[in-house]
Amino acid sequence: MLERQVRQTASHSAPGTAGILPRLTAGILLAVALTGSAAGAEGGGDAAAQANNPLANMTALNFQDYYIGRITDTDKDGNQFWVRFAKPFTLAGTNWLMRASLPVNTFPVAGNGDLATGIGDLNVFAAYLFDTGNPAVSFGFGPQITAPTAPDERLGSEKWSAGFANVLFDGRSKRLQYGYLLTWQGSFAGSDDRADVNAGAFQPFAFYQLGKGLYLRSAPIWVYNFENDAYSMPLGLGIGQVIKRDKTVFNVFVEPQASVAYRGPGQPDWQIFAGFNMQFLQ
């Protein structure tokens, strides 16, 4: 589920990224259509309710993509593809969940406006899982760190940053699940030639089950940059399908999003969030 890295690059033309969106969206919608009736009871119940839980007690591998159709103050587009891996672990008798996220950025960059594609900065957080007294309610809090792993300096912050992550997921209802992901991080080392990082992100999310694993969803990310007071506040509404096969839960979705408020250049005016998630049951 997810927190999206605050973009450090300038906004210029991104030729070539527009062709990604139609194929990706069409593929996901086709998968939803073809599997909706076949999933049946296997896509419902606890599997459907927990499929979007970022703190679920199982190993997960997610492939998620943001196609940004228009970047503010320009008529240009961009793309950000995420690979996320999550795994629960125990430490001194306590329960934790680790999630690592690595983006592949396709952004036009400052200066000549040429298209640049490459790995971005690696983010990892570890959340301590509190005992809420109800296994359907998950609450986690812990540290996070971002490493400047982008080989192309134009696609990363060139800063080491650290902060916290806080997650709530309420899955008590088989019909409606909801929660949030709240993060903050600030830079503490790195290139003196780059702007400091001091950014927060809040992601409210809700999932409404329609039956047989089909669900409606909304999971926008609201980002605020405390360094320059830039922000973006998108809203979204999408559709997804959960399919349980043996010990693997598959989750495909697509969610168009549009910003209802923003400030500063380089913010997403509208975007499409799509993903293919897998949870591996123990």
187 found inside a domain: yes
Q: pTM score, two decimals?
A: 0.85
224 part of a folded domain? yes
Whether 2 shows a pLDDT value over 70: the answer reads no
In 3D space, the residue among 263, 258, 262, 257 whose CA is nearest the CA of residue 275 turns out to be 257
Does residue 9 sit within a domain?
Answer: no
Determine, yes or no, domain membership for 90.
yes
Task: State which residues form the domain around 27.
Answer: 20-280
Instruction: Evaluate whether 186 touches 203 at the Cβ level (below 8 Å).
Output: no
Residue-wise pLDDT tens digits, 160-216: 999 999 999 999 999 999 999 999 999 999 888 888 999 999 999 999 999 999 999
Q: Is residue 1 part of a domain?
A: no
Residue 7 lies in a domain: no
Residue 47 maps to which CATH number? 2.40.160.40
Task: Please tell me the total count of domains within the chain.
Answer: 1
Residue 249 phi, psi (nearest 5): -110, 115
- Taking 60 as the threshold, does the pLDDT of residue 87 lie above it? yes
**Would you say residue 12 lies in a domain?**
no
Round the CA-based radius of gyration of the chain to a whole number and report it. 18
Q: What is the pLDDT of residues 144-164, one digit of tens each?
A: 999 999 988 888 889 999 999
Establish if 163 belongs to a structural domain. yes
β-bridge mates for residue 137, sequence order: 170
Closest to 257 in 3D by CA, of 22, 69, 74: 69
